[in-house]
Structure 1
């Protein structure tokens, strides 16, 4: 991972206090592949968790990264989660942060800065923030992540990734799942991609697309913006990659249980089947489905 610093809130240098108003018993931390669709979907799930039967004490936090951070391969998604865990497990500044912050800024200075005790117009504060900006370090968000923990000491860590056989090999996917299992991270996969999970909210897929399900597995790139699957979602829900809150409330929030039933009854939720095998061209595509319902079960039962 080197000295890359990918964790970054939407606005650097602003404190994140909203989630700290409550003291959650458990937090599910998710690193997701898409920097728009998945991130926005799960942020709205967090906002409306009580309407979804998720206990008030259970929170979801989708790890944030810069808008122009398009590193979305499974390895990159796992890397972001582990960058967070480095911060979480280091009571002080992680060593790789110390290595890029000039010695003139003492630990005491940094701690007082993070507590909001410095005036933003102070020259030294401005110079310090310029250093952070140059190095791409959102120290305020990293401090928030270091402090933000559930009271029950049983927080959960997971990744949300696409199968997408066009980009990800069977071996690549199996290696990622193996790494997650060895470290007790949860792994949520959708075949062919997350938009197939979104489509499960919108229509009865087996009924509407009877005889055309192979089109989802192949998932041809139709334009620079859309695959076959994402195009179908866009036609019905009338949004691009970005999901507005209004669209979430209209198309997704009321239909999450409908989507869960479809996933369980009509498609596979088995990770091995979602990934597929190297034995033939067809098997390399995996089987249609998703195990995202397991995430909602976890959230509701916690």
Structure 2
């Protein structure tokens, strides 16, 4: 399993998911320090893991990653591409170089991953490519023009690749489209809007998206949508475009932006920030952690009561 974007959010959750299944994983992202952390997590789960520091926007980097994976494991069965960056701001107030790098990372690098992976899959007559899109590949939202443009492009690219894959039995192309997900991408985004972004409700977990990715490996499907309101938003966007356009701006300002001010910055669009990389972004409570804490506290209290009774 080659995973691009493996150090944060959905990619890191997918790495853990595959490692827990015993799959051999090749972990790729820009930050060598965080890659080492993810490798340790995968090895602790009992999986073999190779790390290959990779900037998917650099010419030749994706091909070198594929060569390293094949040299280590003899071939590639699945390629999961999750690498993405984001930028907030009015289109005319966002620096052109930031907009272009968002599109380069989220769309053109996805195309390069698909090109490299599919050539190898066709040669082997087997392989599954899983691209990570977004509900924003079907609808639009203000202040995220670069990301929206890239995801719409990725939607069209994936559809074309799926049509071509019909001519190559054994080669499958899947697209996983999440809605709002509790990842650090919002805090890590470039920002020229003055307010930090956030995932609008309802928010799902990256682990749930990772399970959908794993499901695509076992049961390939053309597209999987992960998000309770994804279908409703798509229907509103298509059937009632006038109403949608009236509502989406106020709803975005209310639910898609925090009240925390921020000075203009380019986030991780050009360089990674290892300190901000994690599976979750902190937008949802860690229910499993809370359960473990409560169980531990309950055990401590129970022991104390037993000691007093004795």
TM over 0.5: no
Q: Which has the higher contact order (CA 8 A, sep 6+)?
A: 1
- TM-score, with normalisation over the residues of structure 2? 0.32
- TM-score, with normalisation over the residues of structure 1? 0.32
1 or 2, which has the higher strand percentage? 2
